[in-house]
């Protein structure tokens, strides 16, 4: 549930924060209602269920049309082979970010508040590893694709459909249909977002009635963990990357020129809005135009270290909320890092990807759909530092690419 998903006032700064402010206000008012009007909480609870049901109904067609449409656009790129190196770098940097946050949570775990019953958790059956993977990635019948319980299978099907359409549909008839259908469902999604404050109000009124102060303390702990952790990652790791590329001189150049895109990221909470400033910043760092003008737009879609770290925090928070162990076995580490990469990068590249990523986390680990409210609230809380990391990560990626390809002749 993003601030981009609803019509907002014209003033640029107020426009950016309008919807998050409305959501946070509805959460606060719902919490107050849950404390002061306990006798009426159960009466309004169906309003939260109504919004959630409508949202989940829209998600499936939105996922299909968004991914298949996006694939048809991406396949047209004349720079696809150049982007292979970008994707490889994005993957490595994303894995490092995910491991960092996973280790941080290992030392500073999110303590369980014991306010949600573990009976609302539906874990995937303990099957052999390959069978679990098969069940996650595929379904036995075509009609089973169109369910929020089979999101990964739907994503794979939509990607294959998009690639096939691009290869076969030379006249562009089906491609135009996919683009129009995507626009239609995005508009429907935007309209539905007008009901989001009502749904959040009802849900948090109900949960605060049973929880009280524990919920506030839990979200404050999550906010502190992410804010401090992301700031530490930004300062330590990005300085290290810059140093490895060109010594302390590049560290100074990096921090000197990061100021404008960083401030824009904080002010707008939009990676896309910082693209021009980020390109200029890279150019001032002596990164060639051919790199700066391609890696920043491409990275804005697929390279989101802040979102990847946010996905790790969301998974840890969900396990904590439901009082379940956030395992540290090798399989658990690999699976959580893999899901974080998928949610933070691949899903984040499509329209309304944030909420689709949250639903994917819920489905993969078998949580109740009502957990979507908790994940969306975390998204709102961490949006500013996550955007800052996403934007800064693209800047440092440009510096690394410059270092990797300095031996290759190129012209401005």
pLDDT digits (tens, 9 = 90+) for 199-236: 889 888 887 776 666 677 788 889 999 999 999 999 99
pLDDT, tens digit (0-9, with 9 covering 90-100), for 342-364: 888 766 656 555 777 888 888 88
pLDDT band at 9 (very low <50, low <70, confident <90, very high): very low
Q: Mapping DSSP to helix (H, G, I), strand (E, B) and coil, where does residue 367 land? A: strand
Write b or e for each residue in 259-277: b if 16 or more Cβ atoms lie within 10 A of its Cβ, otherwise e: eebbebbebbbbbebbbeb
| DSSP 8-state code for residue 6 | S
Give me the phi and psi of 121, to 5 degrees please: -110, 130
For tokens 């560290």, name the residue. Answer: 251
pLDDT band at 159 (very low <50, low <70, confident <90, very high): confident
pLDDT, tens digit (0-9, with 9 covering 90-100), for 358-386: 888 888 887 888 788 889 889 888 988 99
Average pLDDT over residues 26-49: 86
Spatial CB neighbours of 230, under 8 Å, sequence gap ≥ 6: 306, 309, 382, 385, 386, 388, 389
Q: Mapping DSSP to helix (H, G, I), strand (E, B) and coil, where does residue 121 land? A: strand
What is d(CA 186, CA 22) in angstroms, rounded to the nearest whole number?
20
What are 323's two structure tokens? Answer: 């009082």
Domains along the chain? 15-407 (1.10.3860)
Residue 6 has pLDDT above 50, yes or no: no
């Amino acid at each position: 549930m993003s601030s981009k998903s609803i019509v907002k006032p014209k003033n640029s700064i107020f426009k950016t924060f309008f919807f998050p402010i409305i959501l946070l206000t509805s959460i606060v008012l719902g919490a107050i209602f849950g404390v002061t009007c306990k006798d009426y909480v159960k009466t309004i609870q169906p309003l939260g269920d109504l919004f959630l049901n409508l949202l989940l109904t829209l998600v499936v067609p939105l996922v299909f049309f968004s991914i298949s449409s996006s694939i048809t656009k991406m396949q047209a790129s004349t720079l696809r082979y150049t982007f292979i190196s970008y994707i490889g770098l994005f993957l490595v940097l994303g894995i490092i970010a995910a491991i960092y946050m996973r280790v941080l949570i290992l030392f500073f775990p999110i303590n369980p508040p014991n306010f949600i019953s573990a009976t609302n958790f539906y874990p995937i059956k303990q099957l052999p590893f390959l069978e679990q993977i098969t069940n996650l990635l595929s379904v036995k019948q075509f009609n089973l694709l169109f369910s929020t319980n089979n999101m990964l299978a739907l994503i794979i099907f939509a990607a294959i459909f998009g690639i096939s359409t691009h290869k076969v549909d030379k006249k562009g008839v089906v491609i135009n249909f996919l683009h129009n259908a995507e626009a239609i469902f995005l508009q429907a999604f935007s309209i539905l977002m007008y009901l989001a404050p009502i749904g959040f109000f009802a849900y948090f009124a109900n949960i605060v009635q049973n929880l009280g102060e524990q919920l506030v303390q839990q979200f404050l702990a999550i906010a502190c963990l992410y804010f401090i952790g992301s700031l530490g990652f930004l300062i330590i790791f990005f300085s290290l990357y810059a140093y490895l590329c060109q010594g302390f001189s590049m560290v100074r150049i990096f921090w000197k020129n990061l100021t404008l895109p960083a401030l824009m990221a904080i002010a707008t909470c939009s990676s896309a809005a910082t693209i021009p400033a980020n390109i200029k910043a890279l150019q001032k760092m002596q990164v060639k135009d051919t790199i700066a003008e391609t890696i920043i737009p491409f990275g804005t879609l697929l390279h989101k270290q802040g979102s990847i770290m946010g996905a790790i925090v969301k998974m840890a928070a969900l396990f904590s909320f439901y009082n379940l162990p956030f395992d540290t076995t090798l399989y658990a580490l690999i699976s959580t890092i893999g899901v974080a990469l998928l949610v933070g990068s691949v899903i984040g590249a499509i329209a309304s990807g944030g909420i689709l990523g949250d639903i994917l986390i819920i489905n993969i680990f078998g949580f109740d759909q009502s957990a979507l409210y908790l994940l969306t609230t975390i998204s709102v809380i961490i949006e500013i530092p996550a955007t800052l990391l996403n934007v800064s990560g693209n800047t440092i990626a440009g510096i690394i690419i410059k270092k990797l390809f300095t031996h290759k002749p190129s012209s401005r």
